[in-house]
Amino acid sequence: MSRKPLIAGNWKMNGTLESGGALAQAVADGAADAACDLLVCPPAQLLYPIGRALAGTPVQLGAQDCHAEEKGAHTGDIAAPMLSDIGCSHVIVGHSERRENHGETDGTVRAKAEAAHRAGLIAAICLGETEAIRDAGKTNSFIIGQLDGSVPEGSTAANTVIAYEPVWAIGTGRTPTPAEANEVHALIRSHLSDRLGADECAKLRILYGGSMKPGNAAELLAQPDIDGGLIGGAALKAEDFLAIAAAAKG
């Protein structure tokens, strides 16, 4: 089964109209050469202008979070249908920074992924262990728990991507070895196969995130169960982001 790689940039809380606009334009300018799908996830205030700038290009637009409900008294939040209304195709849910900084549980993440699905968005569901969990040799059971808690019934290869992001690798310059990362990706695929079906999971894209850079992308992306990347810091430089995309062969 060949899965077209997806290289996604999570810009986190970075970018102004000027700097974000220039970054999106530079990504779009390099997109024609990419053999993979490209997605940028700017901060909320840039979604609309960048969506307009990307219209007609192959670069897709994603948000970094959504609320689980469709509307109502939730000051500061954005609902999934609002994101599809302005042209988003994807939304990241359950990033470890939101789990940590906003107290999001697996249940919250699952409800947000369900809201994304209802709104016709692709949910990029993030999970990953802390260093303490890895050191305790409990990575596999922890990941299985997060999958069971965070991935809703009805998830398919068309409405979901999974991002495995070991917390200890995010923004640290450290990564698992490609084989170690692939081991967790293979576990994710086989565990979800039992729930969602083997055919669906053979098509499901599982991204790696955590200090992916031009220098390590090719060896990570060459692993059989690593189907792309969710890039933080290196997504803020178009040159680096496009170099990672160039390492993702279809």
Per the structure block, which two tokens stand in for 120?
């016709």
Taking residue 45's Cβ as centre, other Cβ atoms within 10 Å add up to: 12
Judge whether 95 counts as a catalytic residue: yes
The secondary structure element, H or E, covering residue 164 is strand 160-164
- From the list 14-22, 72-80, 101-109, 164-172, the region that binds ligand 13P by CB under 6 A is 164-172
Smallest gap from residue 55 Cβ to ligand 13P (A)? 25
* By the rule CB under 6 A, 112 interacts with ligand 13P: no
* By the rule CB under 6 A, 233 interacts with ligand 13P: yes
Smallest gap from residue 108 Cβ to ligand 13P (A)? 17
Question: Is residue 249 a contact partner of residue 228, using CB atoms and an 8 Å limit?
Answer: no
Dump strand ranges (E) for 36-141. 37-41, 59-63, 90-93, 122-127
Of 193-212, which residues contact ligand 13P (CB under 6 A)? 209-212
* By the rule CB under 6 A, 216 interacts with ligand 13P: no
Per the structure block, which two tokens stand in for 4?
């077209």
Rounded to an integer, what distance in angstroms lies between the CA atom of residue 126 and that of residue 146?
9
Judge whether 74 counts as a catalytic residue: no
Smallest gap from residue 142 Cβ to ligand 13P (A)? 18
- Catalytic residue numbers read 95, 165
The residue ranges that bind ligand 13P (CB under 6 A) are: 10, 95, 165, 170-171, 209-212, 230-234
